[in-house]
Amino acid sequence: MEKLQPARLAFNSVGEPYSASFDDVYHSAYGGPAQAHHVFLDGNQLPQRWQGKDRFVILETGFGFGLNFLAVWQAWQNDPQRCRRLHFVSFEKHPFSASDLAIAHQAWPEFAEQAQQLRQHWPLLTPGFHRLHLANGQITLTLIFGDAATQLRTVDASVDAFFLDGFSPAKNPELWSPYFCKGLARLAAQGATLATWTVAGSIRQALKDAEFEVEKRPGFTGKRQMLVGHFRSQRPNRHQAPEERRAIVIGAGIAGCTTAHRLASAGWQVTVLEQHAAPGQGASGNLAGVLRPLPSADDNRLSRLTRAGYLATLQLLSQLPEARWAPCGVVHLSREAEHEAQQQRTVEALGFPPEIFQFLDKEAANQKLNWPVDSGGWWFPGGGWVQPASVCRAALAAFPEQRGFG
């Protein structure tokens, strides 16, 4: 498993944000927001194409500082005919910390409101999917921390507009390869559009071979030309939105109640069927549960799943003030010496932020627990205990107008 390597904030001699990893700039010094509008919004005919729609999906190949996303968010917010829900999916191999984003965002005071909210929801820098719900749940930002060249195949979506904004083809060829362009075509909805600042002949040919019609347009300031395109295939839409947004959830345990909560927040009318008189009475009726992920040195599927669930649960609990829980931290002590050494190797191998988990030796574990123990172990500072039934009740109560229980 490849460690996630966060980006470091740096600037070149003319003040452009610069990536040492790719020896390239994130955007031009000649007006980043204007470049975002000219190339990516105007290049994809936005906001016109999302107007009056129930949902609109954008996929971007490099998040960087979030400039394109912030420009889209502001344009969507200022549009009285905007789509009801906006989904923005973006990859980032080397994400920035929230503190670096705060410094970079100072250059764009016009996005101050959106940028602040983005940083407030910014996830811990761990590999995989991170879903942020913004603008009262009407905007969903799905961040995928990892290499887009390998992670694109993990996405299942119907994309209306592509922002091809990776580093230059010469510096980052995997994001412009024929194989990658065919991966984009797999996700394209009927009538999908694309825009990018590069007009390299190899890119134009790769996109044409992937069923995109492309043409050159005048570029932004120093770039004489840019590229726009549309998906020419008329294949049926694999993700047709339902005409009626109604759902029945069977079972009012943790899984059922949180599913109902997510559906209701997306505007669905949900009926929850439960044989007991109240939610959280079956397997979710335990007095308390432990909230923590299950790490492994190879970051296997179970580890990735439990980490995603752990982070998503923390996000959900922050929205449910009636849920009973406490982020007191969790210690997982080792069984014996070899297990303790394995726990330490796992922390070192993964290289996750200390807010996710750390290794404590015996003495540190003694101090943390204020109790004598015979070994060290893992420390999850954000973990804690949760009363499952209270989460069930709070999740169902959050959207009473869109939920029925019986």
- pTM, two decimal places: 0.91
Backbone angles phi, psi at 132, to 5 degrees: -110, 130
Over range 101-116, report the average pLDDT: 94
**Number of domains present in the structure of the chain:** 2
Query: In terms of domains, do 218 and 269 share one?
Result: no
- Regarding whether 336 and 287 lie in a shared domain, the answer is yes
pLDDT at 285 over 70: yes
Least confident range from 28-37, 203-212, 240-249: namely 28-37
Task: Read off the CATH number of the domain in which 24 is found.
Answer: 3.40.50.150
Rounded CA separation 162/282 (Å)? 45
Please check the confidence at residue 1 and state whether its pLDDT lies above 60: no
Residues 31 and 146 placed together within one structural domain of the fold: yes
Backbone dihedral region for residue 219 (phi beyond 0: left; psi -120 to 50: alpha; all else: beta): beta
pLDDT band at residue 168 using 50, 70 and 90 as cut-offs: confident
Q: Which of 231, 262, 277 is the last residue of a domain?
A: 231
Domain endpoint, select from 174, 208, 231: 231
Same domain? For 250 and 223 the reply is no
Last residue of a domain, one of 202, 231, 260: 231
pLDDT at 20: 65
Q: Which of 61, 64, 60 is nearest to 21 (CA)?
A: 64
State which H helix or E strand residue 163 sits in: strand 159-164
Nearest to 27 by CA among 41, 5, 12: 12
Helix ranges (DSSP H) in 95-139: 98-105, 112-121
Does 184 share its domain with 250? no
Q: List, in order, residues 6 or more apart from 305 with CB less than 8 Å away.
A: none
Structural domain containing residue 331: 246-405
* 73 within 8 A of 36, measured Cβ to Cβ: no
If asked whether residues 109 and 256 sit together in one domain, one would say no
- Answer yes or no: do 149 and 177 share one domain: yes
In a domain, 241, yes or no: no
Label residue 166 by pLDDT band (50, 70, 90).
Answer: confident
Same domain for 330 and 195, yes or no, is no
